[in-house]
């Protein structure tokens, strides 16, 4: 399919005295960083360090806004109104964008964090609110969405600049949804398997589901999770696998229409 792909990972999820993830090892391996904005991780000092680290490695910066739930790391459904959510996304996007401005780089994208991703898939009003926030933040701002999902389709229809996302380290259902984390086979922790899945997504636009069916999946960006044990090895394998297959790993800003 495409000969160029974006590789993204959540970054900057430390907070105050607490450290999370190995940003130092992972940043050189990716092309886009989803930077936590303070609502689930990422205090202002951490955001600046993360943006500057991304800049040093030529990695594009995105905002990774969350529900206001520090204690729950943004992973618990909250019954916010669409208008509240739109405003939370706007606030956090601006916060990260200002550090980009200070560092002399453009904010590339926004990607909803944690349970927001799922909420947007389930509830059109939530997808709409996120799409609106993205659109209000400028027509060039890219929104990451779940490839082949309803939230992706809805935001494309709204005219938002969308990058559909696939996952290297997650198993798929036949309808293009991710296998629930409650199932034992949800995660792909073998680096070679994750790399192979990423290569096939990028090169052929296909993924094999957990039960062996090939489905179409058109993706512009591939995500690897950074907070699982062994994450760095998986990300390295994915990066190297893509390059060996002749697929360039480059930030979306360089090539997404």
In terms of CB distance, is 88 or 151 closer to its own copies? Answer: 88
CA proximity to 242, closest of 21, 93, 29, 86: 29
C-alpha angle with apex 24: 18 to 29, nearest 5 degrees? 135
Helix (H, G, I), strand (E, B) or coil at 157: helix
Beta carbon of residue 185, minimum distance to its own copies (angstroms, whole number): 23
Residues in binding contact with its own copies, number by CB under 8 A:
49
Q: What H or E segment, with its residue span, contains residue 4?
A: strand 4-11
List the one residue from 52, 87, 124, 173 that touches its own copies (CB under 8 A). Answer: 87
Q: How far is the CB of 97 from its own copies (least distance, A)?
A: 5
Contact pick of 5, 32, 38, 160 for its own copies (by CB under 8 A): 38
Among 92, 145, 197, 220, contact with its own copies (rule: CB under 8 A) = 92
CA-to-CA dists, residue 213 to 188, 206, 238, angstroms? 17, 10, 22
Taking the complex as a whole, the smallest distance from the CB of residue 4 to its own copies amounts, in Å, to 30
Cβ atoms of 109 and 33 closer than 8 Å: no
Question: By CB under 8 A, is residue 128 in contact with its own copies?
Answer: no
Q: Is the separation of the CB atoms in 40 and 63 below 8 Å?
A: no
**Cβ at position 47, least distance to its own copies in Å:** 7
53 lies in the binding site for its own copies (CB under 8 A): no
Q: Does 181 bind its own copies (CB under 8 A)?
A: no
Is 57 a binding residue for its own copies by CB under 8 A? The answer is no
Task: Tell me if 180 contacts its own copies by CB under 8 A.
Answer: no
Contact 107, 96 (CB under 8 A): yes
Task: Name beta bridge partners: 60.
Answer: 32
Q: Are 85 and 65 in contact (CB under 8 A)?
A: no
Q: Check residue 228 for interaction with its own copies (CB under 8 A).
A: no
Distance of CA 86 to the CA centre of its chain: 18
31 binds its own copies (CB under 8 A): no
Binding site for its own copies (CB under 8 A): 13-20, 38, 40-41, 43-45, 47-48, 68-73, 76-80, 83-84, 87-88, 90-99, 101-102, 115, 133, 136-138, 227
């Amino acid at each position: 399919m495409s000969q160029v792909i974006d590789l993204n990972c959540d970054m900057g999820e430390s907070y105050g005295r607490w450290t999370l993830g190995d940003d130092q090892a992972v940043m050189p391996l990716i092309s886009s960083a989803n930077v936590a904005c303070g609502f689930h991780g990422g205090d202002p000092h951490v955001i600046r360090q993360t943006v500057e680290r991304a800049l040093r490695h030529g990695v594009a910066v995105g905002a990774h806004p969350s529900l206001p739930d520090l204690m729950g790391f943004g992973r618990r459904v909250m019954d916010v109104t669409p208008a509240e959510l739109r405003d939370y996304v706007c606030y956090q996007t601006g916060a990260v964008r200002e550090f980009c401005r200070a560092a002399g780089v453009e904010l590339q994208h926004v990607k909803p964090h944690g349970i927001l991703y799922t909420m947007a898939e389930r509830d059109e009003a939530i997808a709409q609110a996120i799409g609106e926030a993205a659109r209000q933040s400028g027509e060039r701002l890219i929104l990451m969405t779940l490839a082949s999902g309803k939230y992706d389709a809805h935001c494309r229809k709204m005219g938002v600049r969308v990058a559909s996302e696939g996952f290297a380290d997650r198993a798929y259902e036949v309808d293009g949804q991710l296998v629930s984390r409650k199932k034992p086979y949800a995660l792909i922790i073998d680096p070679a398997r994750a790399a192979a899945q990423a290569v096939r997504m990028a090169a052929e636009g296909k993924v094999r589901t957990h039960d062996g069916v090939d489905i179409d999946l058109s993706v512009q960006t591939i995500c690897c999770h950074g907070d699982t044990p062994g994450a760095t090895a998986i990300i390295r394998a994915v990066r190297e696998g893509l390059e060996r297959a002749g697929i360039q790993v480059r930030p979306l800003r360089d090539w997404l229409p």
